[in-house]
Amino acid sequence: MQKILIIDDDPDFRLAVRMVVEAHDFEMEEAAAPDEGISKVLSFEPDLVILDVMMPTDYEGFQVARELREKHKLIDLPVLMLTNVHSVKKVPYRFAPDEDYLPVDVFLDKPIEPEQLVATIQEMLGERREELELPL
Amino acid sequence: MKTVKHKEYPIVVVGGSAAGLTAGITARRHYPQDDVLLVREERQVLIPCGIPYIFGTVGSPDKNLISDAVLEKNGIELLLARATDIDREKRVLHTTEGDVGYERLIIATGSRPAMPPIPGFDLDGVHAVVKDVAYLSELQQRLETSKDVVIIGGGFIGIEFADEINKAGDKNVTIVEMLPHCLALAYDEEFCVEMEKVLESRGINIRTSSRVDQIAGDGKVEKVVLSGGDEIEADVVIVGIGAVANVDLAQKAGLRIGLTGSIAVDRTMQTSDENIYACGDCAEKISFFGGRPSPLKLASIATLEARIAGANLFGIRRENVGTVGVWSTAVENTALATAGLTEVMAKKRGYDVVAVTVQGPNRHPGLMPGAADTRVKLVFERNSGVILGGQVMGGPAAGEVSNIISACVQNRMTAEDIAMFQTGTHPALTASPIAYHMVNAAEMAIKQMSECGG
């Protein structure tokens, strides 16, 4: 059974995700804060991490992503950033996966349909993670 | 503002920039009996590629607009409204100005600028390249009183912004690029170096192989700190590192979003809903070379996809062969243009390549008015002789030469095909028939291939 860790400070959202992913035969673990999340990445050894950004108000999730890659060298751990940072901060730009500044594999905005969440997880786990060969 | 309530249209397009407009025009051409409604939020639509020139040559966002006369000329109705959701079952588009029924819907919601979460990105004075008249007007006002401008990203947007802002003549303009050269994702090193020389000769500072670690300031930007510890004073920072697909509407409607974060489409530009198409920056792209996802976002690609989507609404007529990647830029009198793969990119992808460069004037004799020293580099696959790409540096005609190269690439022409080009030449218009760049480069490539037993 493949394991998923969600790092998100919203208990309702964590519960909703748990119900969806467990219904699709994934093992689920939760963390409510950045430090707890990093600890559980190391102890639970998930196959994929769902990572929030604002925990609770600032951009803590960005730092978690960098720490996983740079400090803990978890280069191949699939990370799905799932957040409502754009709508809450009302910024005219968008954050996106970036090898140097935002090392996650997929960035999606909340809310997300359960079917799409599952499809994205399955796609991220089922396929070899392909690097985009910039610029073509 | 027009209000539409529960009216139905055979074709509805969401988005009014290059892709949406072209999709609407194409739909009218292919299905002239069907009404087309274009829904867009913006009162004024900027010409995306012209945005850097607002800050120098053009002078104002108001002078860089797509005219609505195009809609009228093509018989396309316009609804100024924000599309808020799609009822896919009932085929109804919800907007802030009422509901609109559709038979076929085209989503062309474009992209938003990417912002790297560098510490300090949210300081006052840090700007993205937002396609919005009010936002760019504010940036323009701020630039009028600025002294030190740092541009993060040395791609096309970055160098064009730098050169245009630098034209005011009273600012320190610095480009910070993480890669070893500006434009390194589009050109081989020798071309990048030449363009960097041109930029530096015009007083622009260039910091390559430099990562920005922090944008620092007390409430507003004061300096940019590089990874090596160097600091660059800044009162305005402009981030030009790329764009992110705007999929808000599509995602809310439950359309499939690809792993690249763009709307998943097939080669006909159809989304996961057979009645909904997507094109332009919001739609997922694949490369012409190998078919992997491509992050390229260009207005020329957007309009190609729009011509496919608009034609396919009631029956498949066109398919997308994938993104070749054709674009150009110019600083002063030096133009750079590219199509397809560079030598470095081709090798990285595993091709065994023959690369040939020729150089000479694009008039004959070279003293004719308008002559520009022109360098053309073509890249071929060694065994098949098929052209993979090419780069051009020279005068304004470079852009059209790269379009010719694109035609060769799309048609998978060989060096022999190109060597047998039947070209028209004229002293005042073209290179000499004896030294026609494309033909001579192809001939040299054939020689190299034969020498290697290929």
Residue of chain B nearest A84, judged by CA positions: B248
Which residues are B79's β-sheet partners? B39
A131 has pLDDT over 60: no
A133/B348 Cβ within 8 A: yes
Residue of chain B nearest A53, judged by CA positions: B117
The pLDDT value given to residue A134: 46
CB B163 within 8 A of CB B202: yes
* Residue B220 DSSP code: B
Closest to B296 (Cβ–Cβ): which among A101, A124, A136?
A136
Residue B112, min C-alpha distance to chain A (Å): 6
Q: How many distinct helices (H) and strands (E) make up chain B?
A: 11, 26
B interface test, pick of A52, A57, A80, A93 with most B CB neighbours within 10 Å: A93
pTM for the full predicted model: 0.92
The pLDDT value given to residue B5: 47
A133 has pLDDT over 50: no
B interface test, pick of A88, A134, A136 with most B CB neighbours within 10 Å: A136
A-chain residues near B293 (CB < 8 A) = 130, 132
A107/B186 Cβ within 8 A: no
Q: For A30-44, A52-66, B26-40, which range has the lowest pLDDT when averaged over its residues?
A: A52-66
B-chain residues near A112 (CB < 8 A) = 251
Listed as ranges, residues in chain B with pLDDT below 50 are 1, 5, 454
**Average confidence (pLDDT) over A2-19:** 97
The pLDDT value given to residue B454: 47
The pLDDT value given to residue B7: 87
A91/B185 Cβ within 8 A: no
Closest to B185 (Cβ–Cβ): which among A93, A113, A135?
A135
B185/A101 Cβ within 8 A: no
The per-residue pLDDT for range B331-383, each reduced to its tens digit, is 989 999 999 999 999 999 999 999 999 999 999 999 999 999 999 999 999 99
The pLDDT value given to residue B148: 98
The pLDDT value given to residue B453: 59
The pLDDT value given to residue A132: 44
Please give the ipTM for the structure prediction: 0.85
A51 has pLDDT over 90: yes
The full set of domains in chain B, from first to last, is: 7-112+244-311 (3.50.50.60), 115-241 (3.50.50.60), 326-451 (3.50.50.60)
Residue of chain B nearest A133, judged by CA positions: B294
Residue A45, min C-alpha distance to chain B (Å): 23
Mean pLDDT of chain A: 91
**Average confidence (pLDDT) over A58-74:** 95
Chain A to chain B, count of Cβ pairs less than 8 Å apart? 98
Closest to A41 (Cα-Cα) out of A12, A77, A81, A70: A77
The pLDDT value given to residue B16: 97
- SS in 3 state form for B130-191? CCCHHHHHHHHHHHHCCCEEEEECCCHHHHHHHHHHHCCCCCEEEEECCCCCCCCCCCCHHH
The pLDDT value given to residue B122: 93
Query: Dihedrals φ, ψ of B224, to 5°?
Result: -115, 130
The per-residue pLDDT for range A74-128, each reduced to its tens digit, is 999 999 999 999 999 999 999 999 988 999 999 999 999 999 899 999 999 984 3
The pLDDT value given to residue A130: 45
Q: Which CATH number fits domain A3-126: 3.20.20.70, 3.40.50.2300, 3.90.79.10, 3.40.50.11600?
A: 3.40.50.2300
Q: How many distinct helices (H) and strands (E) make up chain A?
A: 5, 5
The pLDDT value given to residue A99: 86
A93/B112 Cβ within 8 A: yes
Query: Dihedrals φ, ψ of B40, to 5°?
Result: -145, 155
B178/A112 Cβ within 8 A: no
